[in-house]
Structure 1
Amino acid sequence: MFKRFEFSGRFSVVLHFILWFLAMSVLLRIGFMAWQFNDVSLSLFDILKTLLIGLFFDIGTINFIVLPSILYYVLLPNKWIGSKIDRFLVWFFTVLTLFILVFTFFAELTFWDEFKSRFNFIAVDYLIYTHEVVSNIQESYPLPLLVGGVLLLTALFIFVFYKNRAFHKTFTAAVSISQRFLVLVLSFLIALLFVSSIRNNQAEWSSNRYNSEISKSGIYSFFAAFRNNQMKYDEFYTSIKNEDAFQLIRGKLKSENAIYKTDDFSIHRTITDSSASSEKRNVVFILVESLSGSFMEEFGNTEKITPFLDSLAQKSIFFENLYATGTRTVRGMEAMTLCIPPTPGQSIVKRPDNHNLYTVNSVFKPKGYDSNFFYGGDGYFDNMNSYFGGNGFNIYDRGRGSVLNDDIKATRTNIEDKEVSFENAWGICDEDIFNKMLRVADQQYAAGKPFFNFVMTTSNHRPYTYPSGKIDIPSGTGRQGAVKYTDFALRQLFVKAKNKPWYKNTVFVIIADHCASSAGKDEIDVANYHIPAFIVNLPANQNQKISKQCSQIDVFPTLFSLFHWTYESDFFGKDVLNGDFEERALIGTYRKLVLMKKEKVMILSDQKKQAFYDWNKKDNSLKPIPMEKTFLDETISWYQTADYLFTNKFLK
């Protein structure tokens, strides 16, 4: 492989290592282009630019990787070259680093399979929650075969180095002062260039998202995400005066039944209802993992994997045109509990100082509700227990000894082994978590307490395993089976709940946390934010299909209106059924912030960039259109005010 290169001298192993890494990175990049053959831009210019930009970032990446070894080679005196300790250190760290990088290349393939992206902030999160991630890998992939393959390839590459006499040259050649100086200066200059002037988003040169992602280096992207997990709005995004932003948003949230409490930078208001009711219906809220709208026959799917949900759409308040705010579970939780647009960077669920916020539970609690959060895995994952416990929910999870922080005034109850019939890497199956909720609801009813029970499901997640014999698709065979099992578990929940004395007075809200996939060739794949939502078990004459374009943040304000409640609100969401509701959806990634109104889509990006598109729903494409300042100002205002309120602790 390296015979054409006549390397000599002390740095032979390093040079072989660098060229090996660059060659593997190019092959991986070509592999990704082949993988996305139907989506990636394959013009000669775009292919060359994808490969050359990728090569540039690969050079920066491998320079950082080999910098410690270069320092070692430069500083080690000639008299110690080839000594036992020198041979041990060079061999050990070369083999170890090669093994890690081969494993990383494999990891990039599995990450791309799941997210159609190079490493990003999700990979950073996965590094933190190792138990769930390692278990998921073990259950999703043939781990012995994977590790064996990594070891075999590592041995093969080391053998190539050895046969090309890289180690012999490294251990027998002295190095001059000028050579040491030249190599050290070159390496430090490259490192300085990337640290001071190069940002990962500079790889995002193409309007085709796949070309931009493939241009990146996975390892470089990982550390860039690690550094930029939290982003201050005014530093990264186009902004306007706070006075103008709040004036605009207060106008958007204005309603005949909304009375603002102050005139300053606030959206706090009292929502009144002329037929105010003191009725306290129980609420069971179910946030379903990865339930894309495209899975339902209601939206054109022909696989018949959601028969129960399709039937439910005909006898509920069904949101036909609703969009998730983000691409991760914590974004769905943030949107549903805070009714807030997705602020840039990490979700509020995972940020510091996120206790005692004004959430939907702040509406339920004063009315005497017993509020609980149910999760089939360890609620430590993604900071869920801290967030929900710190905002007034009692916790039921599979935490196995994890405890809530001392400052959280809530209880945490472990789901016992005897309550579990099936469990995988992410938690107990949906039937088990629903059964747990039913048992707690019985206790709440017996105690005479109205309840608000928030349930997070896990079964519709890789490795897609669930109890056997429940549906006609074998467990662990793919997403379709997991979706159909979740649909089955929801049916069983209602079968059991209808026999409960509290059922007639209980409303069920079912909604997805996000879609199963959000990646596409455009910078935002609009169709992959479309999710179903249901409000079930209100009087039959209220059942309807809502075609208005809306967001996750609007569901609870709509529910509270249906209850005819008067309440205090810091919510950005509105009652969709109100005649003055203006159709729009607020969606985004951790870096892209989007306002969509009908077919018009405005995207705010970091580096204070913005783009305006017309969305073609038929082929899910975005066509650039001339900028509209009023639309841009509105987009800015939604996100700037949301970030301002949280950052300045005005959502407390």
Structure 2
Amino acid sequence: MLIRLKHFFGPNWLIIVFFASTLLLLSCSRLMLMIWQAERVNASEGWLQVLISGMRIDTSILSYVALLALLVTSIGVLVRRTAKFIYPLLLVWLSVFFVIFAYLEVITPSFIMEYDLRPNRIFIEYLIYPKEVSAMLWSGYKLEIFIATSTLVIATVVALKLFRSQWQERSNASLAMRSISIFLLVALTVVGARSSFGHRPINPAMVAFSTDHLINDLILNSTYSVGFAINGLGAEKSSERYYGEMDDSEVLQVVRQASNLQGAQYKDQTAPTSTYRQASNSHSKKNIVILLQESLGARYVGGLGGLPLTPHLDKLMQEGWNFTNLYATGTRSVRGIEAVLSGFTPTPSRSVVKLSKSQTNFFTMAGALTEQGYHSQFIYGGESHFDNMKSFFLGNGFVDIVDGPRFEKIDFEASWGASDEDLYDQAHLEFERLAEGDQPFFSLVFTSSNHSPFEFPEGKIELYDSEPKTRNNAAKYADHALGEFMQKAKKSSYWKDTIFIVVADHDSRVHGASLVPIEYFRIPGVILGEGISPKTDSRLISHIDLAPTLLSLAGISGDMPMLGHDLTREVPVEKQRVMMQYDKNFAYMTTESVTVLQPEKAPLTFEYKDKAFKALPLDKEQARKARAHVIFGSKAYDKGWYH
């Protein structure tokens, strides 16, 4: 039977073999992932739905690959003399895609273990920095590299052997039958590519059904997921693409009302959220130092109920203004930088640190402080071009970039750059020099030791885990380095004139069986310095509230476009809220409930208590606030409002 079909379809038979073999590969991969995540699949009651919807997604992407090939091979089917010229092109085209599908499926488990998602935008963004990423992979993921490389070799051999054996140069059918077969195959691939008879082709939102984001991701295949991410990177479309449209006037009305700025006047139409903010500190201007901690979620902080890895930070939390209910806006460092430095709301697009329109004339603390006569500085142990940080910083207020290549001394250099101890030593030197002048300074100090592959100097800490290179040990080393620095800072010439904040950029390995795993967005934050009284602040606080607060404490008044609260002032309970972007899902949480927005789906409202979600009737007003805040970020970026 197969031999007869092979002779009937001729060159197009190879496309059919590619389609069937790759569909089998993707289905088997999905089934193995589901078995691995059986507990979560059972909880979602989704075995059949994931498999069926997954085959629709697979059919869609395979149809797109097959369609172009069909258009070429049709020439060979109709004009037989051209078939031998088409063969090498077809063999390369189909083999390359088979290898891509196989490779991305093989690396998927490792990616899920790290991000609880299939390869997506993060995977693409890492490819932009091969030097840093290759060093990280070689240091900590040699087995994964071996498996991935072996997959490339094996998949290439299998593809070439299979497709060569199935090549049929000529069809034995009549010209009329060949024409009909081509028409039917093209029609089927067009239908398969859409995988829907509705007005829109299939997309991730159409097949999503679970409140567990990973289950919805298992429906996809990793090539589709990466392709969808690439499409999003190219477009960087507004949040309205995902969550529905909202007029500019309504967005501005909602976000202004949600702020805690009574009697605010908005006079600048080019910056419609910009209004005058009066600092609570009316004395001399203070220096500001942000100690941004890499991947330090609350679960690693003993003082927040986490593992006993941070004795030094725990002590600092008792000495300063300690935020116990602080939430990050996202899961990437550039998202944390965007929020802490600019007070900018998260969006489903890339961070503004990376986007083209925000490389100049975009509001940051550094820009505001430089205008007030400050020396604004960024200190980082790696290379500052990573994640486009250097370009964004220099274009928006920073005048001094001190990265690893500029360090005076490095005792231990890891894949991501100088160790945190070396970083803090350099920072201390910089601050001592700056304190000798009469110019106040602002410095963003960004750590990196608590990052995979978790490299740090030996003999510095008593290991928490027996295996040295673990996340827990790296977190403990990062705390050790922080503690050493703060001891020196307290005895320094700059201590009495400086406000410090120790805050995380995000948690590590954000995962969980929910649309937005909120418990992994909780992070530590504490403000320290001369005149900062020890206190515990249990208000619901967002990353975006920190910039207005630091500027207020430093005595900086002026027109600013930020939506965050100045925490030196009373914030009514009904005004307290946090915003979290998790891949394409957005959560807006108050003290009472949380509303989650998903692409092209109706909003959902939940009660969030004791790390558990309970479905509630939709809170329409909260959903409106959620949509306004996430859409604001896109509009502010696109229209140049945030300056």
TM-score using structure 1 length: 0.87
Tell me the secondary structure at the aligned position of residue 237 of structure 2: coil
Which residue of structure 2 lines up, in the alignment, with residue 149 of structure 1? 150
Q: Which residue of 2 aligns with 1:435?
A: 425
Secondary structure at the aligned position of 2:513 is classed as coil
* Match in the other structure for 2:209: 205
Quick one: which of 378, 393, 401 aligns to 1:373? 378
Q: For the Cα contact (< 8 Å) 1:240–1:633, is it kept in 2?
A: no
User: Which residue of 507, 516, 529 maps to 2:508?
Assistant: 516
Distance 1:448 1:537 in 2: 19
- Structure 1 unmatched ranges of 5 or more: 400-413
- In the superposition, relative to structure 1, how do residues 32 and 549 fare at CA in structure 2: closer, same or farther (>3 Å)? same
Range 365-374 or range 582-591, more displaced: 582-591
1:298 paired residue among 296, 303, 306 = 303
Tell me whether 630-639 or 543-552 shows the greater mean CA deviation: 630-639
1:170 paired residue among 160, 167, 190: 167
Gap change, CA 1:300 and 1:38, over 3 Å in 2: farther
Stretch of structure 1 that moved more, 516-525 or 242-251: 242-251
Residue type of the partner of 2:527?
A: I
Shift of the 136–196 alpha-carbon distance from structure 1 to 2, 3 Å rule, reads farther
- 1:304-323 counterparts in 2 under 5 A? 304-323=308-327
Displacement of 1:439 in angstroms is 2.3
Residue 557 of structure 2 corresponds to: 566
Q: 1:38 corresponds to which letter in structure 2?
A: E
Q: 1:244 to 1:61 in 2, by over 3 A?
A: closer
Question: Which blocks of at least 5 consecutive residues in structure 2 are unaligned?
Answer: none
- The percentage of aligned residue pairs carrying the same residue is 25
Q: 1:167 to 1:636 in 2, by over 3 A?
A: closer
The correspondence of residues 593-612 of structure 1 with structure 2, limited to 5 A, is 593-607=586-600, 609-612=602-605
Query: Is it true that 1:288 corresponds to 2:293 in the alignment?
Result: yes
Name the Cα RMSD after superposition.
3.0
CA contact under 8 A between 2:379 and 2:403: conserved in structure 1?
no
Q: What displacement does 1:468 show?
A: 2.3
Distance in 2 separating the partners of 1:546 and 1:525: 23
The residue that corresponds to 1:410 in the other structure is: none
User: C-alpha offsets along residues 496-522 of structure 1, whole Å, 9 cap, x if unaligned?
Assistant: 334432233222211111111333211
Task: Determine if the alignment matches structure 1 residue 588 to structure 2 residue 581.
Answer: yes
CA deviation digits over 1:140-184, x for unaligned, max 9?
A: 22266225532563367359x55xxx6344146536433444434
SS in 2 for 1:314: helix
Distance 1:14 1:251, change over 3 A: closer
Distance 1:502 1:197, change over 3 A: same
Hey, what does 1:426 align to over in structure 2? Answer: 416
- Deviation sequence 1:183-224 (CA, Å, 0-9, x none): 344334433658962223223222232221111121112111
| Aligned-pair CA distance for 1:240 | 4.7
Distance 1:103 1:210 in 2: 20
Amino acid at match of 2:471: R
2:462 matched residue in structure 1: 472
CA distance in 2, matches of 1:421, 1:122: 31
Matched residue, 1:330 = 334
What are the residue-to-residue correspondences of 1:123-522 with 2, within 5 Å?
Answer: 123-142=123-142, 145-147=146-148, 149-151=150-152, 153-154=154-155, 157-158=158-159, 162=162, 167-171=164-168, 173-174=170-171, 176=173, 177-178=178-179, 179-191=181-193, 197-229=201-233, 230-255=236-261, 259-262=264-267, 266-273=272-279, 276-277=282-283, 279-302=284-307, 304-354=308-358, 355-396=360-401, 398=403, 414-415=405-406, 419-473=409-463, 477-522=469-514
Q: Per the alignment, do residues 606 and 148 of structure 1 end up closer, same or farther by CA in structure 2, a change over 3 Å counting?
A: closer
TM-score, normalising length: structure 2: 0.88
Task: Specify the SS of the correspondent of 2:38.
Answer: coil
Q: Please give the alpha-carbon distance, in whole angstroms, between the structure 1 residues aligned to 2:149 and 2:545.
A: 50
Aligned length: 622
Q: Is the contact between residue 7 and residue 15 of structure 1 (CA under 8 Å) also seen in structure 2?
A: no
- Structure 1 residues 275 and 32: CA distance shift in structure 2, 3 A: closer
The corresponding residue for 1:17 is: 18
Distance 2:39 2:195 in 1: 35
- Partners of 1:443 and 1:332 in 2: CA distance: 28
The one-letter code sitting in structure 2 at the alignment partner of 1:368 is G
Question: 2-side partners of 1:7 and 1:313: how far apart?
Answer: 73
Deviation at 1:49, TM superposition (A): 0.5
Residue in 2 that maps onto 1:404? none
Partner of 2:6: 8
